[in-house]
Structure 1
Amino acid sequence: MLLFMLSMLFSNFPVATEMINPEEENSIALDRIEINQYALFHFDSLYIDQNKLDFFMDDLEKKMYSAPINAKIADNGEIISEKLGETMDRSLFEIQFRTLFYNNKDGKLRIPTLLVYPKVDRGLLEEISQRELGSYATFFRQSNKERSYNIELAAEAINNTVVFPGETFSFNKIVGERTTDKGYKRAPVIVKGELAEDIGGGICQVSSTLFNAVDLHGIQIVERYAHSRSVPYVPPGRDATVSWWGPDFVFKNLYNEAILIRARAVNGKMIVAIYSSDTAEYFKGE
């Protein structure tokens, strides 16, 4: 936990014990000179410079924030529990800061924090992993190591994605830009009907496999584009090409429950399965 300590010349200020952490690492101390910088001197230091204070709190929020981590299902089927994040309690901090600023006593203030809960926890995963709504598998040549590796990376990127009722899924948004920094390699792609090589070649097999898996009554296909020529891993008309700064594959969840995407590429097989709870049924989402 990243801790910050504001050390001020205003002692005996009561601070709630639950906001105090005994660890002293990574603390920030403010002395009297620093505190005075938040005063509007044109008004004899009677008022706080709100712009400076806002900038200070923005900086503290960035430093203190730790993102929560969603629960996920491991390859062996075991559910890995979520992890809570943390952020600064901005409202409480400002109240305490103002109290200390106008107090003539010495004191110390530790920055109050709030827990940040993840969107997906163990309980939700247990509920929406009960029933398989659909699945689809395609195959690829493992001998093409670069293309195979790209498929594995993209499959891992969409794996464990949860799409809530009424939400849309964007392949490009979830997978992100395909770059060498992320590990993607140059492999064959189809550009205007011609074969070429580009970073991330092969991930269209992932998006196409996903398209066939989510082609369900409770899923609305919002955006899908076909390749300019046929591809060998799905029947004609059943592909979904994607590229960064170009075509995307987007669908909307019209079920009354969240859906879970499980994706894996191993031993030359790309498989996507869609799960939800036993009570999942189609409805017309808005």
Structure 2
Amino acid sequence: MKMAMLTILLLFINPSVQNEDLTIVHDGKEIMHIYRDDYMEEFLGEPFISSSKTTELMNQISDLVHKDAINAKIGDSGEIIPGKTGYHLYQEKFTRMVYSYLLGKGPMTIEAPKLPTHPKVDSEILANIRTQQIGHYVTYFNSNNKERTHNIKLAAEAVDSHAVFPGETFSFNQVVGKRTKEKGYLPAPVIVKGEVTEGIGGGICQVSSTIYNAVDNAGAKIIQRYSHSKSVPYVPPGRDATVSWYGPDFTFKNTYDQPILIRAKVYGGQLSITIYSSNQAEVKNRDIPDASEELPDEIDIEDQH
């Protein structure tokens, strides 16, 4: 009872403290409250708005409302799955809203203003660039190695339906992203400085190597490629492309005047990478040696030490 009386007394003594906040709303939900006094500073006895604090606020709200656009992709049955529009904070308008509150009096509620971000690859583009096969490569693996197979499938899904526009450079690390437990990658054998050891994401170099041979077959310009420090069984000697998040990357440039499309599929113990483009692309293919269909022996890591 005493606590309730004290609260009522405080409200009566200083009512101006109440209801002076700015409420920022996103998609109908309150995401932040700020108070005018926290954004004001004093210089030579005169109050002014802290630009550093308003910039920090804008960055925080930008992170909260940002949503990436999703490119169109090709489904398991060959159907085109439409892309989805994303959005980002309309920073200019948001800044005007915040300054209107800071320079005014009383409370205010604003909806965080947004601008749409359209998919880079929409259904129309995708339909146009899957009409001509310009490159292809298949490698084989032992599907009984569940961890390695799982990692290959994850990396293949990450690159599937990815489009590379004219003059654009494809980066395996950028497209696939960091290979972590949180993203579902599992420990499997990897080659480090000539030694076989176990690491998160083991097996993804077979994906990067298969892409390398497919785009080389398609006549793309190879920008960056490194071989393993030890020969690998899934491609002919010198036809591999090792990748590591903190180390080497595999990159190539689309030198054609049409976008190219990467399709990646795993069938049992086969990894198939097919490169497509539009019928207008004038392709100069290269002959590439085929991978061996003989399944590699399973690696016993303990035997390597």
* TM-score, scaled to structure 1: 0.80
What are structure 2's unaligned runs of at least 5 residues?
Answer: 1-18, 285-305
1:220 is aligned to 2:218? no
Residues 212-271 of structure 1 show CA distances to partners (whole Å, capped at 9, x for unaligned) of 110146411111122344333222322222233333221111111221111011211100
3-state SS of 1:37 partner: helix
The verdict on how the C-alpha distance between 1:88 and 1:189 changes in structure 2, with shifts beyond 3 A counting, is closer
What are structure 1's unaligned runs of at least 5 residues?
Answer: 1-6, 11-19
The equivalent residue for 1:145 is 146
The equivalent residue for 2:29 is 25
The equivalent residue for 1:14 is none
C-alpha distance in 2, partners of 1:195/1:54? 49
3-state SS of 2:276 partner: strand
3-state SS of 2:182 partner: helix
User: Which stretch of structure 1 is more off in the superposition, 143-152 or 101-110?
Assistant: 101-110
3-state SS of 1:125 partner: helix
C-alpha distance in 1, partners of 2:171/2:91? 33
Shift, 1:179, TM fit: 2.8
C-alpha distance in 2, partners of 1:257/1:72? 18
Which amino acid is the alignment partner of residue 196 of structure 1? T
Which amino acid is the alignment partner of residue 220 of structure 1? K
Residues 173-219 of structure 1 show CA distances to partners (whole Å, capped at 9, x for unaligned) of 22233333332223233344444333322222211111111014641
The verdict on how the C-alpha distance between 1:198 and 1:95 changes in structure 2, with shifts beyond 3 A counting, is closer
Which amino acid is the alignment partner of residue 183 of structure 2? K
Aligned 8 A contact 1:254 1:282 in 2: no
The number of aligned residues is 264
1:110-125 correspondence runs (5 A): 110-125=111-126
Shift, 1:28, TM fit: 4.3
The equivalent residue for 1:158 is 159
Which amino acid is the alignment partner of residue 267 of structure 1? G
The equivalent residue for 1:180 is 181
The verdict on how the C-alpha distance between 1:115 and 1:45 changes in structure 2, with shifts beyond 3 A counting, is farther
Shift, 1:8, TM fit: 6.4
The equivalent residue for 2:98 is 97
User: Which stretch of structure 1 is more off in the superposition, 274-283 or 213-222?
Assistant: 274-283
C-alpha distance in 1, partners of 2:31/2:178? 37
The verdict on how the C-alpha distance between 1:230 and 1:24 changes in structure 2, with shifts beyond 3 A counting, is closer
Aligned 8 A contact 1:193 1:228 in 2: yes
The verdict on how the C-alpha distance between 1:44 and 1:202 changes in structure 2, with shifts beyond 3 A counting, is same
Shift, 1:68, TM fit: 1.7
3-state SS of 1:115 partner: strand
The equivalent residue for 2:274 is 273
1:195-206 correspondence runs (5 A): 195-206=196-207
C-alpha distance in 2, partners of 1:113/1:43? 37
